[in-house]
Structure 1
Amino acid sequence: MEPLIYRAPGPFALELGGRLDELRIAYHTYGRLNARRDNVVWVCHALTANSEVADWWPRTVEAGRFLDPAEHFIVCANILGSHYGTTGPLHDDPATGRPYYGSFPPFTIRDMVRAHRLLADALGIDRIAALVGSSVGGFQAVEWAVMEPARIGRLALIATAAKASPWTIAIDETQRMAIEADATFGEPRPDAGMQGLAAARAIGLLTYRGSEGYDLTQQDREELPAVHRASTYQRYQGEKLCRRYNAYSYHAILRAFDTHDVGRGRGGVAAALGRIEARTVVVGITTDIIFTPAEMRALAAAIPGARYRQIASPFGHDGFLVEHEQLNDILRPFIHA
């Protein structure tokens, strides 16, 4: 299903001082907005996902699930800088008539949220009944809930944080180093930096799954294989991403992730989270090494009235993509309450 495209009026100023003379936002919707306009569930997606939630989040956009098109008007917008329709490095710079590539201006999580606020306004959405964000989608969701407390009714934060930690920044920097080590990165062509992108993706996967997930799924099937199963898995995943993404978007979005801090300019993280008015559930994953259960419990404790729930999974951070039933058992009652 092709995305819808919203074109924002006028230039879009960026938090770090740059601007986009043209801003387009790709988005998908499911279901219908009801007469009271109070059935909106907005999903914020993560790193290399797109706005078609049913494409990347299995068993969620279905009847009887927490994203039920028969009951809700579900919206997901592609993030700034992405490869899937929203203005990014492969789009033409109006000033030159050529793609931005490495000259795409730096942006932040707040810029992503401000762009999506424009889309929500254009769609006539004054109130979001439930805002759902997982991983870096959770960065956007918590930022939005702090930025516009009255707009968000319920908030579901899954395996995420209120601020990019040194650990997550180090993960991102290591991936950027892999891309920058590719001698073709920086060349003005869409396939530049692909070997670096493949390596970056392989690095990222180690943190998404962790040792327990790899040991469970990538054991060799013979005693002395010519090529280890884990090795072929890493190369396959790197090549798979290269078939659908580009190094410029990946590099730019990782930089944006590192800017995440809901407390910036608001008196600190605790003060910012204290602004949230939405009824909130925070969901951790037992084996997540990016956003640990302890960190998720601390996030829940800092948000007024928030509840903490946990998914048991051997698949680390990726558990929110795998443990469909557990996630639905938590989120469907929460969203439908």
Structure 2
Amino acid sequence: MEPQIYLAPGPFALESGDTLPELRIAYHTYGRMNAARDNVVWVCHALTANSEVADWWPHTVEKGRFLDPERWFVVCANILGSHYGTTGPLHVNPATGRPWYGSFPQFTIRDIVRAHRLLADALGVGRIAMLVGSSVGGFQAVEWAVMEPERIEGLALIATDAKASPWNIAIDETQRMAIEADATFGEERPDAGMKGLAAARALGLLSYRGPEGYNLTQQDHEENPVLHRACTYQRYQGEKLCRRYNAYSYHAILDAFDTHDVGRGRGGVEAALGKIRARTLVVGITTDIIFTPAEMRRLHGQIPGSRYCEIDSPFAHDGFLVEYEQLNALLLPFMTER
């Protein structure tokens, strides 16, 4: 399903001080907004996902699930800088008549959220019944809940945090180093840096799946001591991303994620999270090494009145994608409490 496109009026000023001459936002919706306009669920997506939630989050946009389109008006907007329709490095810079490529201006999580707010206004969305964010989608969700506490009624934060930690940033920097090691990165063509992108993706997967996930799914066959399933898996995943993404968007979005600090300019993380008024569910994953259960419990402790639950999974951070049955069992009752 092709996304819808919203063209924002006028230029879009960024937190860095730069300005995008034009801003287009790709988005998908499911279901219908009711007459009371009180059934809006907004999903914030992660790193290389698109706005088509049903495409990347299996068994969630279905009848009887927490994103049931017969009950909710579900909205997901593609993030700034992405490869999937929202203004990004491969779009044309009106000032030059050429794609931005590596000159795309730096942007932040707050810029992404401000863009989403423009779209919400254009769609006639007032209050959001539930704002859902996993991973770096959670970065956006927690920022939005602090930025507009009166707009967000419910909040579900899954495997995420209020601030990018040194560990998060180190993972991102290692991926950037892999992209930059590709001699073609910087050339003005859409396929520049692809070998670096493949390596970056392979590095990232180590943190997404963790040792339990790999040891469970990538054991070698005894009859072939030379061919290692883990090796072919890493290469396959790197090549798979290269077929659908570009290195400039990946690099730029990693930069944006590292800017995440909900407490910046607000007196610190605790003071900022204290502004949240939404009913909040914080969900950790037992084996997550990016956002550990301890960090998730700390986030829960800093959000007034929040609840905490955990998904038990060997698949580490990717558990939020894999364990959709457990996630549905947690989110469905929470979302239907009105």
Q: TM class by shorter-chain length?
A: over 0.9
CA distance in 2 between partners of 1:14 and 1:330 (Å) = 36
Shift of 1:240: 0.1
Structure 2 matches for 1:191-270, cutoff 5 A?
191-222=191-222, 224-270=224-270
CA distance in 2 between partners of 1:325 and 1:99 (Å) = 42
CA distance in 2 between partners of 1:105 and 1:213 (Å) = 37
Residues 82-140 of structure 1, C-alpha deviations (whole Å, 9 max, x = no match): 00000000000000010000000000000000000000000010100000000000000
Structure 2 matches for 1:69-80, cutoff 5 A?
69-80=69-80
Shift of 1:226: 2.4
Shift of 1:223: 5.2
CA distance in 1 between partners of 2:130 and 2:221 (Å) = 45
CA distance in 1 between partners of 2:14 and 2:159 (Å) = 27
Q: Secondary structure at the match of 1:308?
A: strand
Residue 66 of structure 2 corresponds to which residue in structure 1?
66
Residue 5 of structure 2 corresponds to which residue in structure 1?
5
Q: Which runs of 5+ in 2 are unaligned?
A: none
Residue 151 of structure 1 corresponds to which residue in structure 2?
151
Residue 162 of structure 2 corresponds to which residue in structure 1?
162
Give aligned-pair identity as a percent: 82
CA distance in 2 between partners of 1:72 and 1:14 (Å) = 32
* TM-score, length-scaled by structure 1: 1.00
Look up the equivalent residue of 2:8 and give its one-letter code. Answer: A
CA distance in 1 between partners of 2:178 and 2:48 (Å) = 17
Q: Secondary structure at the match of 1:133?
A: strand
Shift of 1:224: 4.6
Compute the RMSD of aligned alpha carbons.
0.5
Q: Secondary structure at the match of 1:149?
A: coil
Shift of 1:218: 0.1
Q: Secondary structure at the match of 2:198?
A: helix
Residue 311 of structure 1 corresponds to which residue in structure 2?
311
Residue 133 of structure 2 corresponds to which residue in structure 1?
133
Shift of 1:324: 1.0
Question: Do 2:220 and 2:227's aligned partners in 1 also have CA atoms closer than 8 Å?
Answer: no
Structure 2 matches for 1:269-284, cutoff 5 A?
269-284=269-284
CA distance in 2 between partners of 1:17 and 1:89 (Å) = 18
Question: Do 2:110 and 2:143's aligned partners in 1 also have CA atoms closer than 8 Å?
Answer: yes
Look up the equivalent residue of 1:299 and give its one-letter code. Answer: L
Residues 264-300 of structure 1, C-alpha deviations (whole Å, 9 max, x = no match): 0000000000000000000000000000000000000
Structure 2 matches for 1:75-94, cutoff 5 A?
75-94=75-94
Structure 2 matches for 1:26-65, cutoff 5 A?
26-65=26-65
Look up the equivalent residue of 1:63 and give its one-letter code. Answer: K
Shift of 1:319: 0.2
Question: Do 2:42 and 2:76's aligned partners in 1 also have CA atoms closer than 8 Å?
Answer: yes
Shift of 1:221: 1.0
Residue 296 of structure 1 corresponds to which residue in structure 2?
296
Matched pairs, number: 337
Structure 2 matches for 1:104-119, cutoff 5 A?
104-119=104-119
Q: Which runs of 5+ in 1 are unaligned?
A: none
Look up the equivalent residue of 2:23 and give its one-letter code. Answer: L
Q: Does 1:320 align with 2:320?
A: yes
